[in-house]
Structure 1
Amino acid sequence: MVFYFKARPEAGDYTIFMGLDKHENEELIKYGFLEDIWFHVDKMSSAHVYLRLHKGQTIDDIPEGNKVNNIDVVYTPWQNLKKTASMDVGQVGFHNSKMVRTVRVEKRINEIVNRLNRTKVERKPDLKAEREAVNAAERAERKQLLRDKSRICGRLVPILSVGNDGEELDRLEKERQAELRSYKNLMVAEKMTSNKDIASTNKSLQELEEDFM
């Protein structure tokens, strides 16, 4: 079970969440997002609390808040959490201690605690599936950026040299279509060599590589 809370509206649309126990903490450690910031009361038994930032934000953008009196709260980005086989369930360390920050909380503000509790939602999320969905979306975004970059690099020079008008774009598209047709003509069965054909030549791998070069 994971508990979700909403930050105050004036702070922005932020989600705060925590596991029910150490077993949920293990899942949160394993399948966190790059935008997640981990919080824990220093040198005390406490819940692992996460704040999910928006894309592009950093640990410096975190709004402040208090829950209890006279404690130190340590926090660090999720990717700085370190988990080894020798650690107990729910236990965690850090890759880089310089990325761990501490804030002193001197006074509990009940108003904040009560407001957070009113936004509390309990869910049993598939954390692995959520992490995989984010990974897939990021991969697709990177691929699209590479395609866009390749397309721009291939067309920018002729467009700039002639002028970015409709006629030039039409000409480039016709050239692209002509190239595609020429590729299709090359990929005919009579001009292709199968694995069986290669095997029948009895050439060694080195000889085949030399032929290719």
Structure 2
Amino acid sequence: MVLYFTSEIVDPPVTIYMGKDKFENNDLIKYGFPEDVWFHVDKLSSAHVYVRLQPGQTWLDIPPQVVDDCAQLVKANSIEGNKKNGITVIYTPWDNLKRTPGMPTGQVTFHNHKKVKRVFVEKRVNEVVNRLNKTKVERYPDLMQEKINREKIDRLKAREEEFKEKERAKILAEEKRKAEKEIQDLFDPSQMRSNWREEEVEDINAAEEDFM
């Protein structure tokens, strides 16, 4: 089971979700989307909370208000962290999560520790937690199928973009060919004409005879 929340403090609203237990957390780690961002209480056990941004957005695009919402939610869903003040919440892009052989279920490390940010949470803010809990929905999604569908969409978009790029390249190549042909025609001897006219010489000679 996966729990879904909606943060409506930004427009458009964003979806926040988390696994019910460590087994769902494993699936969320495995079947995340490129625009997902993972949140967790630092050095303490807690839920794995994700925010799903719009396609094409990165973790650097998260509004500060949404970071605060996720931090409050992950704190509220940490048995130990919920009791403490002054905790730290860490977050990183989904594709930076790393599992190694033998690692306990639901546990993760990172490919790049420099891509992990920290946010300080002084205390639980019930107003925020209650607002998010009012939007909570329990679902049993087929995460693997959702991932497959998403990858199909990404491949289709990639093919469309590749086709557009080839068409743009064809147009540019044709424009270049025409420009080069125009330059060649401009300097083609067969296309050149002389300004010299025999009649002009005769006219001058005739004019000179008038003064003789």
Alignment of 1:141-160 (within 5 A): 141-158=157-174
1:140 is displaced (CA, Å) by 0.7
CA distance in 1 between counterparts of 2:11 and 2:162 reads 35
SS of structure 2 residue aligned to 1:89: coil
Deviations 1:135-168 (A, max 9, x none): 1111111111111222232244446849xxxxxx
CA 1:37 to 1:21, structure 2 compared with 1: closer, same or farther past 3 Å? same
Number of aligned residue pairs: 162
CA distance in 2 between counterparts of 1:149 and 1:10 reads 35
CA distance in 2 between counterparts of 1:77 and 1:158 reads 42
Match in the other structure for 1:22? 22
SS of structure 1 residue aligned to 2:16: strand
CA distance in 1 between counterparts of 2:171 and 2:117 reads 48
1:130 is displaced (CA, Å) by 0.7
SS of structure 1 residue aligned to 2:10: helix
TM-score normalised by structure 2 residue count:
0.71
1:123 is displaced (CA, Å) by 0.4
| Residue 88 of structure 2, aligned match among 62, 72, 83 | 72
TM-score normalised by structure 1 residue count:
0.71
Rg larger in 1 or in 2?
A: 2
Deviations 1:120-143 (A, max 9, x none): 000000111111111111111111
Deviations 1:158-192 (A, max 9, x none): 46849xxxxxxxxxxxxxxxxxxxxxxxxxxxxxx
Which structure 2 segments of 5+ residues have no match? 76-84, 180-212
Alignment of 1:118-133 (within 5 A): 118-133=134-149
CA 1:147 to 1:47, structure 2 compared with 1: closer, same or farther past 3 Å? same
Quick one: which amino acid aligns to residue 34 of structure 1?
P
Quick one: which amino acid aligns to residue 152 of structure 1?
R
